C-alpha cells in the first residue's frame, strides 16, 4: 500500500510481489474505514516523538498562484477558459 502511495500507480499496476491488487485494495479500503491507518500513524509518531526523532516545528509555504485576468470573475468561466493539468498543477488557459 505504501508503494502505491509513494509512486502513485493505479491499483492494477502494483507489482506482483505484493500479491493480488484486488486483495491489497480491499485491505487498504478496510483499514481506511476502520481507522487502522490513523492508529498506525499515531503509534509511529508517538514512538518517534519519545525517541526525539520528530521535529514538531511547522513551516508554512507562501507560494502564490497567478491566474488570468478573466479568472477573477466566475473562476474563469465568463471568458470560457479551460483548466489544463500541467504536471501536478492546473493551469488556466483563456
Structure confidence at residue 23 (pLDDT): 94
**Which residues, other chains included, contact 76 with Cβ-Cβ below 8 Å and sequence gap of 6+?**
67, 68, 70, 83, 92, 94
**In angstroms, rounded to a whole number, what is the distance separating the alpha carbons of residues 90 and 23?**
33
Cβ atoms of 92 and 83 closer than 8 Å: yes
Question: Mean pLDDT across the stretch 63-84?
Answer: 55
**In angstroms, rounded to a whole number, what is the distance separating the alpha carbons of residues 89 and 80?**
19
Query: Among 47, 5, 53, which Cα is nearest to 25's?
Result: 5
Name the 3-class secondary structure at 77: coil
pLDDT, tens only, 29-64: 999 999 999 999 999 999 998 998 887 777 776 666
**In angstroms, rounded to a whole number, what is the distance separating the alpha carbons of residues 28 and 33?**
9
The structural domains of the chain, with segments of one domain joined by +, span: 2-50, 67-94
pTM: 0.51
Amino acid at each position: 500500500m505504501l508503494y502505491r502511495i509513494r509512486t502513485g500507480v493505479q491499483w492494477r499496476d502494483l507489482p506482483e510481489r505484493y500479491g493480488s491488487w484486488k486483495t491489497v485494495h480491499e485491505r487498504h479500503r478496510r483499514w481506511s474505514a476502520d481507522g487502522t491507518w490513523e492508529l498506525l500513524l499515531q503509534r509511529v509518531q508517538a514512538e518517534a516523538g519519545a525517541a526525539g526523532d520528530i521535529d514538531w516545528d511547522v513551516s508554512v509555504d507562501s507560494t502564490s498562484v497567478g491566474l488570468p485576468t478573466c479568472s477573477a470573475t466566475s473562476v474563469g468561466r465568463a471568458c470560457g477558459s479551460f483548466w489544463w493539468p500541467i504536471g501536478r498543477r492546473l493551469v488556466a488557459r483563456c
